[in-house]
Structure 1
Amino acid sequence: MRKILIGLVFLYANLMSINAQEKTFSEKALQDKLVNLKGGEDTFEDVLEAFKGKVVLIDIWASWCKDCVVGMPTVKKLKNDFKEVPFLYISLDRTKESWKKGIKKLGIEDGTHYWASKGWKSDLFTAIDLDWIPRYMVIDKDGTIKLYKAIKAGDKEIIKQLTK
């Protein structure tokens, strides 16, 4: 009985989060700063502006995250299957050095990379209710969030949104 009750609570929570999905980023999230590979900072708004008119896959990850590492071959396959789609990687690594080492180790140099130096409590991650990584999001050509939350690289919804 307890397992059923826990399952129902989990299902309800998931259904409520589906209904609460955002379609746009808050102004606070857009003004959050991310560190680029050259060491400079860009607002998340500027990062998104660079992809205006394109569907974008956002992958929030960290090199220490087992699920992120396990999912990376699937992400690479998606990148190969959807060559016209830019991949935006935002790392939650603890240090800039571990972030850069992770990019090389996982062989994902061919995407656009940023490091969230403020970590989990950044304005961006607070705004999107980040509670797990990896986290995949798909943004459409107009900048609208089409997929708010996927936690597995093989989620069928990712492919569905990338093919639209």
Structure 2
Amino acid sequence: MKKIIVSFIVALGLISCSNAQKTEFSKEALADKMMSVDGTELTFSDILKNMKEKLLLLMFGPLGVRIASKECQK
């Protein structure tokens, strides 16, 4: 009985570790166009380039995407 339980726990651990998270945005996501507060249209790639070296917090909600940024300390 102990071997079955241990085998189940090990299998569960291996399955949960196999779901690696993506570390890059897809080309489609980088090409998505967004509207800024002042009415200019930017792609997501442009936003990331403008915010380089900053910590970004992207908040997705029913009214759109809100972006908060902070300078990174080295």
Q: Please confirm whether the aligned pair reaches a TM-score higher than 0.5, indicating the same fold.
A: yes
Partner of 2:58: 58
Does 1 or 2 have the higher relative contact order (CA < 8 Å, sep 6+)?
1
Compute the displacement of 1:62 (Å). 2.3
Partner of 1:90: 65
The residue type equivalent to 2:25 in the other structure is F
TM norm structure 2:
0.56
Partner of 1:26: 26
Alpha-carbon distance in structure 1 between the residues aligned to 2:48 and 2:57 = 11
Compute the displacement of 1:42 (Å). 0.2
Compute the displacement of 1:44 (Å). 0.2
**Divergent runs of 4+, >3 A:** none
Question: Across the two proteins, how many residue pairs are aligned to each other?
Answer: 54
Q: How does 1:87-126 map to 2 (within 5 A)?
A: 90=65
Partner of 1:48: 48
Alpha-carbon distance in structure 2 between the residues aligned to 1:51 and 1:40 = 16
Compute the displacement of 1:48 (Å). 0.9
Compute the displacement of 1:27 (Å). 1.4
Larger Rg: 2
Listed as ranges, the gaps of 5+ residues in structure 1 are: 1-10, 64-88, 92-110, 113-140, 142-164
RMSD of the alignment, in Å? Answer: 2.7
CA deviations on 1:83-106 (whole Å, 9 max, x unpaired) are: xxxxxx716xxxxxxxxxxxxxxx
Compute the displacement of 1:38 (Å). 1.8
Alpha-carbon distance in structure 2 between the residues aligned to 1:37 and 1:56 = 17
CA deviations on 1:6-42 (whole Å, 9 max, x unpaired) are: xxxxx9xxx47x8242101011110110111122210
More strand by share: 2
Identity %: 33
Alpha-carbon distance in structure 1 between the residues aligned to 2:22 and 2:50 = 21
TM norm structure 1:
0.28
